[in-house]
Structure 1
Amino acid sequence: MRKLKLQVQMTIDGFVAGPNGELDWMWIPGERDEAGFRKVIELADSCDIILLGRGMIREFIDHWENVVDNLPDSPEQSLAQRMVNMRKIVFSRTQTAIKGRNLEVENGDLATAVQALKKEPGKDIMVYGGANFASSLISLNLIDEYYIFSNPVAIGNGLTIFKEQKVLKLESSTVYKNGKIINKYLPV
C-alpha cells in the first residue's frame, strides 16, 4: 500500500506560513543548499501523486508552471518539471474545476478518497499543503511519514498544522549548511 508523505517547511516556532499565508521567511537570499534541494527532489521522485488543499493551489500551479514555461535557466527547473508533470489532486468543497496541468479536483469525503488512493498501485503520495488541508489529514491520522524542514527563523505568529497533541517518533534528522534541518517522523 502507498504511503502518504507530508513535506512542509516550518519555522523554529512551529509555523508553516505567516498569519496571511506569507512564505517569505522560507528563502533567505544566498542561503540555498544544494543537498537540501536534492532531498526535496528525492522525496518528489518517491511519489507519483501530489495532494493539495484548494487554498494554496493557485499560487502552487502559477509558480511551477511559470518556472517551466518562462524560466528555463532557473535553478528550480528540475523540481518545477516534476511539479508540473506529476498528477495533482486538489481537495475542495466549493470548486469542481481548477485550471492547471495534470490537475484534478476531488469533492468527496477526504478520508475515503485518501484511503482509496493509498490502495491504488503506484509510488507514494506527497502532500505539500496548505496548512488547513495538512491539518485535516493529520487530524484524521492519514499521514504515514512526516518530513518537516525546520528553518532557522522565528516569525512569532502564523499558521500551524498541528491543532491537537500528536506524538511522533523521530526516525532521522539531517542538518544542512544553510541551517535548515529535515526531521523525518513516523506516527506512533
Structure 2
Amino acid sequence: MRELVYYVAVSLDGFIAGPEGQFDAFLVEGDHMDAGIDRFPDAIPTRIAEVLGIDQGTGPFDTVLMGANTYEVGLPDVTSPYRHLEQFVLTHRSYPPAEGVTFTDRDPVELVRELKAADGKDIWLCGGGTLASELIGEIDRLVLKRQPLLFGAGIPVFAAGTYDPALFRRVSNRDFESGVSMTEYVRA
C-alpha cells in the first residue's frame, strides 16, 4: 500500500517557514543536499532538476500534495512546479488551470485514502502545516530535515489543532557537517 510521506525542512523551533512565509534562510548548500537528492530526487522542482541533470525517475514518489500557500511560492512564473508528479493543490482558492495540476477543495483525508488505495508509488506531502495537521491521521512517515536556524515565529510543521496524539518511531537519523539533521519516523 502506498504511504503518505511528510518530507519537509524545519527550523530548530519547529517552523517550515518564517512569519512572512519566507523559507530562504534554509540551507540549500552543503553535504545534506546530496543525501536529500539521492533519496528524494523527485522532491526537486522539475525545472531545477532538468537544469542540474537529476534523474527523477528513481525517486519514491509519483504524487505530491500541497496547500495553497506552498503552491503560490512559485507563482506567477511556475504554475506546475512538479511536472514529473501528479500534483494536487488542496485549496478553496480559485486558480487558472495549470498543466498537470489538480486544484481541489475535497476533503484531504478522503483524497489521501483514495490515493493510497490506488496503485502507484508513495505520496509526498510537500506542505504546509495546516494541511499536515488535517492529514495527521494519514501520515505514515515523517522525514524532517532539521535546519540549524531559528525563525522565532512562522508556519509550524503542524498547525495547532484538535487531533489525537500520534506516536511515531524513529527509524533513522543522519547528522551532516552543514548542521542539518535528517530524521525519519514511521507511525508506531
Q: Go from structure 1 to structure 2 and tell me whether the alpha carbon gap of 1:98 and 1:143 turns closer, same or farther (over 3 Å shift).
A: farther
AA aligned opposite 1:147: V
| Deviation for aligned residue 1:128 | 0.7
AA aligned opposite 2:41: I
| Deviation for aligned residue 1:132 | 1.5
| Deviation for aligned residue 1:98 | 4.2
8 Å contact from structure 2 (residues 27, 147) kept in 1: no
1:159 aligns with 2:155: yes
| Deviation for aligned residue 1:177 | 2.6
2-side partners of 1:84 and 1:168: how far apart? 31
Structure 2 residue aligned with 1:109, among 107, 110, 114?
A: 107
1-side partners of 2:146 and 2:166: how far apart? 17
| Deviation for aligned residue 1:169 | 1.2
Give the TM-score, by structure 1 length: 0.78
8 Å contact from structure 1 (residues 98, 104) kept in 2: no
Structure 2 residue aligned with 1:49, among 47, 57, 63?
A: 63
The runs of 5 or more residues in structure 2 that have no matched partner are 44-55
| Deviation for aligned residue 1:60 | 4.1
8 Å contact from structure 1 (residues 98, 105) kept in 2: no
Aligned partner of residue 146 in structure 1, secondary structure: strand
Query: As a proportion of its length, which structure holds more helix?
Result: 1
1:88 aligns with 2:102: no
Q: Go from structure 1 to structure 2 and tell me whether the alpha carbon gap of 1:143 and 1:63 turns closer, same or farther (over 3 Å shift).
A: farther
Residues 32-71 of structure 1: matches in 2 within 5 Å? Answer: 33-41=33-41, 45-60=59-74
Q: Go from structure 1 to structure 2 and tell me whether the alpha carbon gap of 1:9 and 1:123 turns closer, same or farther (over 3 Å shift).
A: same
Give the TM-score, by structure 2 length: 0.78
RMSD: 2.5
Corresponding residue of 2:118: 120
AA aligned opposite 1:104: T
| Deviation for aligned residue 1:180 | 0.9
Aligned partner of residue 185 in structure 2, secondary structure: strand
Residues 131-160 of structure 1: per-residue CA shift (max 9 Å, x gap) = 22122212xx01000010000111222211
AA aligned opposite 1:127: L
Corresponding residue of 1:76: none
2-side partners of 1:149 and 1:63: how far apart? 27
1-side partners of 2:148 and 2:69: how far apart? 26
Using the aligned pairs only, state the percent identity. 24
Residues 19-58 of structure 1: per-residue CA shift (max 9 Å, x gap) = 1211021136x53642333233177710100011122212
1-side partners of 2:4 and 2:79: how far apart? 24
1-side partners of 2:92 and 2:178: how far apart? 39
| Deviation for aligned residue 1:64 | 5.9
The runs of 5 or more residues in structure 1 that have no matched partner are 67-79
